[in-house]
Structure formats: C-alpha cells, structure tokens
Structure 1
Amino acid sequence: MTEPVVRRAVRDWLREYAPTGPVCVGLSGGADSLALTAAAAGEREVAALIVDHQLQEGSAAVAARAAEQALALGCVRAQVLTVDVTGPGGMEAAARRARYAALNGARDGQPVLLAHTLDDQAETVLLGLSRGSGPGSIRGMADWAQPWGRPLLGVRRADTVAACAARGVEPHADPHNLDPAFTRVRLRREVLPLLEEVLGGGVATALARTAAQLAEDADALDEMAADLHALAADAEELEVAVLAGQHVAVRRRALRWWLLGAGVKGLTDAHLRSVDALIGDWRGQGGVALAGGGPGVRIVVQRERGRLTVQREQNGS
C-alpha cells in the first residue's frame, strides 16, 4: 500500500512540471532518495547522480553501492560526483553548496528530482521560524524551482522507508542523520516528536500545509511587487510617488528586488525597513548605508527630489 503513494506522487509531479523527456535524480543511498529513484525509473528515463562529499570514511564505497542500486532499479545511468566541501557557513552549508553545484554541472539540461519529504518540509519551516526573517523564510521548499524538483513534499518519511522495504532495497543509514551536533537532526529526533506529543499529532502535516499556503500567498505578492517595480523604476532610481500609496507588503518586496539588483549584500529586515521609511515615514532623514559596493565601498540609498537613488561611497568618506 505504501509504494504506490511514492509512485503516485512522482507521476503527478512529472505530469505537471516535466511532462516529457528524461530526468535526473539526486541519490544519496538513503530511503527517501532510493524510493524516489525507483518511482521515477518506473515512469521515465532516469539518470542517477550520486554526490560523494568525502566527509566520512568509506564514503566512496557508499556512493558506489548507491550507483549499483540505481542501475538495478532501472536507471539508464548512474554517475558518482566527488566534491570537496569547503567555504564559509559551517559544514552543512558548505556541503549543500558543493552538492547543488555538482548536481547542476552534471544534469545536462535536465530537471533534477530531489527526495525532500513532508517531514523535511516541516523541519525547514521550524528552522525558518527560528530565524524570524518573515514569511519568505517559512514558505518552505518549492515543488519546482528550476531545475530542482521535489515530488515527495506531500509524502511522509515513513512511506519512503516502507517503499524500500516493499522492493527489498536496503537503504544506507547515514551517521550524520543521527548526530545531535546538527540542528536539523535535533529537530527531527527531539523537537518534532515532542510537538507531536504535546499538541496531539498532525504537527508536521500542519507545518507543511502552512508552508504551501504561504508560498501561494508569497507568489501572488511577488507578482504584484514585480508590476510595482516596473512602474516605479527609472534606470537605477525609484519614483517615490508611485511607491507611497502601495501596501507595505508589496512595496517592501519591490524595494528588496531593487536593492538586490543594485548589488546590496546581506540585506536584512532592519535594512529593508530603514529604506522603506524613506517612503512611508519620511521626515527628511539621511541616507541608509548598506553593504555590497565592493572592497572599501558602501552603498547608500537616499531620497532626493522625490526619488530613491543609489550612491556608492568610499567607506569613511
């Protein structure tokens, strides 16, 4: 009864987002990605892409075994991608960057299906809530954000485990998934079970449903903000009069796109509110200094003659 749940989710996703042609699957060797690979290979020509992060002893053997399993499940190709995990933000962030870069480089123009489940979505929403950075941080992962597809966002992790068992496929148990040093692991093994117990169950499903609703709302607001930006933009400036009468939720989205397009880095909610105050709470205040102008340079947003302008100044000038 459980394997058709995964197969149906994959079939529905392919019908909506990739009705024709081959696809790739990101395969780790775990239950979620093996169940996804098996279901996708039953519907379409599939190439399995296995990323070896080289973070654990024996990782090459784990990747090779996953490749063998992919071929046995019906994939036309299984490719191991070996990466070096380096850079800022901690191991999790660095591994994610390396993984996505490798998958993107090997996909040959095809969509890449990723095995994130409803449980992963719930964890993502909780992480977003902890950051407190607005609806954008808790809208969760998208079903389709080209080239990344996530057919299993409505499927529970227990279903993928059962699907593997039904096919006699033995998943790899990643020790990192049990390591409490990782925040997501503690959410999965401690926080979510406690919330389920205290609130009477259904928490993961409710969080995922909330993320889906927020994503729909955000998409609508983004479309409105794009239209507003197009009306207000004049070269690198924005007409204040066009922005002033708009709802703040739409206006700040338009401002965010404008600022990011101007090269602003590390834009926070506080920064955005300060820039928005040049429109919605104008009292003749000075400009707002932001990062992103390059070495020794800062970006300053000012209101001048009814327009928002971007100026680049040397630090300390």
Structure 2
Amino acid sequence: MDQPGPRLAETPAVSALRQAVRRWLAEYAAGRSVGVALSGGADSTALTAAAVAEAGSVTALVVDHGLQSDSAAVAAQAAATARELGCVAARVLPVRVGRAGGPEAAARRARYAALDAARAGSPVLFGHTLDDQAESVLLGLGRGSGPRSIQGMRPFDPPWGRPLLAVRRTVTRQACADLGVTPYEDPHNSAPEFTRVRLRTEALPLLEQILGGGVAPALARTATQLQEDGAVLDAAAVELLTNAGAGAGLSVAVLAAAPPAVRRRTVRAWLRGAGVTASTDRHLRAVDRLVTDWHGQGPVAVGGAGTGARLVVARRHGRLALERAVVS
C-alpha cells in the first residue's frame, strides 16, 4: 500500500482540503493511485498538495492547450511544482484545440481526451470547487435544458473525480499561501468574453448583494438535491427500459403508462445506448409526442449517421425504432 505523502502545514485551509480529499478517496478510490488534472492555478495546485498527502501515489497531468505564447513555460512550471509537492510523476500533455462549438467547448474536449489517454486506468481528480458548482448551476438554469443540466458536477463521474465541490475557492487560495506556493493566474479567468467569467465576476456578486449572501452554497445544495432526485428517476428509467424491450425497439404501450419524466429519461438512455449522445430536450419531447400525441407524424431526427445520412426515431407497429435515414 502507498505510504502517506509529505507532511503539510496544518492550517485550517490545508486541513479542510485534506479532509475533503480523504473523504472522497474513502468513498470512491480507497487504496488506488490517482491522477490530478493540474493547470497550475490555485484550485488544482491546492488539490495536488492535499492528494499527495492523502493518497500517496499521485501523478500530475498538465494539459498544455497551446492557446497562449507562454503556455509551454506555464505547463513546465506546473509540472515542476507538482514534483516539489511530492507527485510520483508529472506529465505535460500538449494538445491541439479545434474550433467546433466555440473556444471553451473545443478546449474542454481536447483536455478531457488527453487526460483520458494519459490516466493509465486511474481516476483523475479536478480542482472544481463549490464556486465552480454554483456557476454550473446558473449556466444550466440560463440554458433551460432541464434538471440534468442544473445538477451540476458530480463528485465522481468515472473516471473523473471532484473532491472539492464543498470547498470554497477562497480556501484553495489560502492553502496555496499557507504552503508557500504561488499559483498561476490564467488571464482567461478574468476575460469578460467568456460566459463563466461574467457569471463569476458580475452575476454571482450581484445575486449575493440582492439576496443577502449565501447564494453560492445554496446553488451547490440545489445541485446535490437534484442529483439525489435524479438518481431515483434514473433507476426507474432503467427498469422501464427493460420492461419496454429495448432490443427490438421500445413498446409504445409500456412507455405511455409511465410518468413523463421517467419516460423521457428512458428514451434518452435508449438513444445513448445506441450511440446517440447529442439528444436535446427538444429531441426528447418530439420523440415523446410519438408516444403520447400520435397522429401519424413522421420520424424524428436525433443525430447524424455519417455523410448523407441521419438517425431518426420512428413509430412502427406500436414500437419506437431507431433507423438510419438517407438525406437527399
């Protein structure tokens, strides 16, 4: 078994981080080596220090997005800091960021792909904090894409772990100061062209002022409550999917007898199982109308199927069927 990492300054901030990581490891990854997605910023740097102290065997994975002229130097410094903190290894992962979906989404896809390829079977920890969770809930609310989007981030969405979702961003900054580590200040984190930055610097402070404080913790609690409710609905959807007979399409009669929330989750799970990962609320409601408001309408497009084709859901002989349709 891995030996405990180096001793850290026992300050309130450092202790809070260590306790959060210790709880996460005990629940999700006891006795396992872990990776940490290290950017060099305060959150991921503080997480790295706490993980080394609690997990023992920690590999830092530093993604270099190449979006700034000094990105290679920043990544190299982050890797050096990781080694100083006691990581068994620190790897810099250069990536190429595309353009599809905008800069934030493209960078995220490139980052997660690189981390997945480098993690060697271990879970990877992210330094997302309670403040990040609050921002995620607000984004979900603004986009109106349903309860799943305002559940925020989960503590463990294999292989990605987030031990600090109950820890404030001020605590990670204080921990870095207590440890004598100077974190990197990413200029993107203060660039107003990014939606999340404006939520952080404008929307949340205004809500705190209007509502008298406590907004970020309240939003994070909302995410946790919705995750708990969502787990119950997801379990019901799994049962309904089995009863509806997914192998040969879904029985319309079985689906129609279920509550709408469970029915739409079942359809979503069925589509995801067939490789359709981009279904939206609009898609799901259109498919739902094939069950509850059937008047002979045609198939519902739910995703691409290669050049010149698309995937559609059609109602055939009392069942929903996923088909490949040629686009003329």
Q: TM-score range by the shorter chain?
A: over 0.9
Describe the shift of the 1:52–1:291 C-alpha distance in structure 2 as closer, same or farther (beyond 3 A).
closer
Q: How many residues align?
A: 316
Structure 1 stretch displaced more, 257-266 or 22-31: 257-266
1:92 to 76, 79, 104: 104
Q: Do the aligned residues in 2 keep the contact of 1:24 with 1:47 (CA within 8 Å)?
A: yes
1:2 aligns with 2:48: no
Secondary structure (helix, strand or coil) at the match of 2:306 reads: coil
For 1:246, what is the secondary structure of its paired residue?
A: coil
- 2: CA distance between counterparts of 1:288 and 1:48? 45
The residue number in structure 1 matching 2:41 is 30
Identity rate, percent: 61
Question: Does structure 1 residue 170 correspond to structure 2 residue 146?
Answer: no
Name the CA distance, whole Å, in 1 between partners of 2:74 and 2:299. 55
| Residue of structure 1 in register with 2:216 after alignment | 204
Give 1:212 shift.
Answer: 0.8
Runs of 4+ in 1 over 3 A off after TM superposition: 260-266, 283-287
CA distance in 2, matches of 1:287, 1:264: 15
Please name the residue that 2:4 is paired with: none
The answer (yes or no) to whether the contact 2:20–2:164 under 8 Å persists in 1 is: yes
1:226-237 aligned within 5 A: 226-237=238-249
SS at match of 1:224: helix
The change in CA–CA distance for 1:80 and 1:286 in structure 2 (over 3 A counts) is closer
Structure-2 residue corresponding to 1:257: 269
Q: Deviations over 1:35-68 (max 9, x none)?
A: 1001011112111111111111211111111111
Residues 300-315 of structure 1 mapped to structure 2, 5 A cutoff: 300-315=312-327
Aligned position for 1:185: 197
For the Cα contact (< 8 Å) 2:246–2:270, is it kept in 1? no
The one-letter code of the counterpart of 1:166 is D
Which deviates the most, 93-102 or 145-154? 93-102
Task: Tell me the TM-score normalized by structure 1.
Answer: 0.95
Q: How far off its partner does 1:263 sit?
A: 4.6
- Kindly state the Cα deviation for residue 144 of structure 1 after the two structures are TM-superposed: 0.3
Report the secondary structure of 1:302's partner residue: strand
Q: What secondary structure does 1:169 align onto?
A: coil
Corresponding residue SS for 2:151 = coil
Residue 237 of structure 2 aligns with which residue? 225
Measured after TM superposition, the shift of residue 265 of structure 1 is 6.2
Amino acid of the residue matched to residue 231 of structure 2? D
Q: Give the conservation status (yes or no) of the 8 Å contact 1:263–1:293.
A: no
1:270: how far off?
A: 2.1
Residues 264 and 293 of structure 1 are in contact (CA less than 8 Å); yes or no, is this contact kept in structure 2? no
Contact residue 265 and residue 292 of structure 1 kept, 8 A: no
Distance 1:46 1:83, change over 3 A: same
Deviations for 1:241-270, whole angstroms, at most 9, x for unmatched residues?
211111111011111122333454642222
Q: 1:263–1:292: 8 Å Cα contact kept in structure 2?
A: no
2:281 maps to 1:281: no
CA distance in 2, matches of 1:143, 1:234: 30
Task: Judge conservation of contact 1:49–1:78 (CA < 8 Å) in 2.
Answer: yes
Match of 1:39 in 2: 50
Change (3 A) 1:194 1:312: same
Moved more, 301-310 or 58-67: 301-310
Instruction: Tell whether 2:146 aligns with 1:137.
Output: no
**Residues 1:51 and 2:63 are matched in the alignment:** yes
Change (3 A) 1:28 1:227: same
Superimposed CA distance per residue, residues 72-127 of structure 1 (whole angstroms, 9 cap, x where no aligned partner)? 11111111111111140111111111111111111111111110000000111111
Instruction: For residue 88 of structure 1, give the secondary structure of its aligned residue in structure 2.
Output: coil
1:11 corresponds to:
22
Q: Give the 3-state SS of the residue equivalent to 1:253 in structure 2.
A: helix
Q: CA shift at 1:230, angstroms?
A: 1.1
User: Which segments of 5 or more consecutive residues in structure 2 lack a partner in the other structure?
Assistant: 1-11
Q: 1:192 to 1:258 in 2, by over 3 A?
A: same
Aligned equivalent of 2:81: 69
Distance 2:59 2:310 in 1: 46
* TM-score normalised by structure 2 residue count: 0.92
SS in 2 for 1:271: helix
Whether the 8 Å contact between 2:248 and 2:321 is mirrored in structure 1 is yes
